[in-house]
């Protein structure tokens, strides 16, 4: 696979202007990234900007805290798809995971996967807030659903993806689920190491610095 196709070119900041989102889309088209990852209000704009390319539009829901009701997240996922989203990155209810209410966490993921159907669902577990035991538990919840990816981080909490976390997630999910490393991947060395450790996708705002055009 081309290195560029590992990258979800990301802009999720609250103050992101349409001009900045257009630049994101232009770069994604130029570098042939896998997707742009944006907030749901920008889905339709991105679809128009990327028309005629194979760059997907990925969006986030329940972002960045994950503490919304399941019903709100399901609605947000359905709304995102109706606006043209190709992939959905959801945040789990981290508090419920810490409460060891694994049925709640699993059920919520399953409901959102049912809502998105055959579209790709990535599940953000926010590794920086979890113990290793909790990271493994979160992965097991995901494996009990039809979700496609476990994703390390939102990039909006106390830390992003680490090599240790990606290795632990890979050891836990094996080949039953894909892995997205997100947050803090800013050098070519980090990028290549994440892939070597098992990451199938990289969420980053630094994609144009990580690879050369055409890679």
Ranges of each domain in the chain: 3-207
**Residue 200: pLDDT above 90?**
yes
Sequence-ordered list of residues with C-beta below 8 angstroms from that of 65, at least 6 positions apart, any chain: 91, 94
Q: Which of 135, 151, 165, 170 is catalytic?
A: 151
Please state the rounded mean pLDDT for residues 118-134: 98
Q: Is 103 a catalytic residue?
A: no
86 annotated active-site: no
Does a cis peptide bond (omega within 30 degrees of 0) precede residue 64?
yes
Q: Residue 212: pLDDT band by 50, 70, 90 thresholds? A: confident
210 vs 78: CA distance, rounded Å: 33
Residue 214 has pLDDT above 90, yes or no: no
Distance (Å, rounded) from C-alpha 18 to C-alpha 170? Answer: 36
- Digit-coded pLDDT (tens) for 83-120: 999 999 999 999 999 999 999 999 999 999 999 999 99
Q: Give catalytic status of residue 13 as yes or no.
A: no
Catalytic residue (one of 73, 148, 180, 190): 180
Rounded Cα distance between 9 and 22, Å, is 12
State the pairing for strand pair 120-124/149-151: parallel
Q: Which of 86, 89, 148, 190 is catalytic?
A: 89
Arithmetic mean of pLDDT over the chain: 97
- Of the candidate CATH numbers 3.40.50.1820, 3.40.640.10, 1.20.810.10, 3.20.20.70, the domain formed by 3-207 belongs to 3.20.20.70
């Amino acid at each position: 696979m081309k290195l560029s196709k590992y990258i979800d070119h990301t802009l999720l900041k609250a103050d992101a202007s349409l001009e900045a989102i257009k630049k994101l889309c232009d770069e994604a088209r130029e570098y042939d990234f896998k997707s742009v990852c944006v907030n749901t209000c920008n889905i339709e704009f991105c679809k128009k900007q990327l028309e005629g390319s194979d760059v997907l539009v990925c969006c986030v829901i329940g972002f960045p805290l994950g503490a919304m009701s399941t019903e709100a997240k399901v609605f947000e996922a359905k709304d995102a798809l109706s606006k043209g989203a190709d992939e959905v990155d959801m945040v789990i209810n981290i508090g419920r995971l810490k409460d060891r209410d694994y049925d709640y966490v699993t059920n919520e993921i399953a409901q959102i996967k049912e809502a998105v159907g055959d579209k790709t669902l990535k599940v953000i577990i926010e590794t920086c807030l979890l113990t290793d035991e909790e990271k493994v538990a979160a992965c097991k919840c995901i494996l009990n659903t039809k979700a496609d990816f476990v994703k390390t981080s939102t990039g909006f909490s106390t830390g992003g993806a680490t090599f240790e976390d990606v290795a632990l997630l890979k050891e836990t999910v094996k080949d039953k689920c894909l892995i997205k490393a997100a947050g803090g991947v800013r050098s070519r060395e980090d990028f290549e190491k994440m892939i070597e450790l098992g990451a199938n996708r990289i969420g980053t705002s630094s994609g144009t610095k990580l690879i050369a055009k055409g890679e």
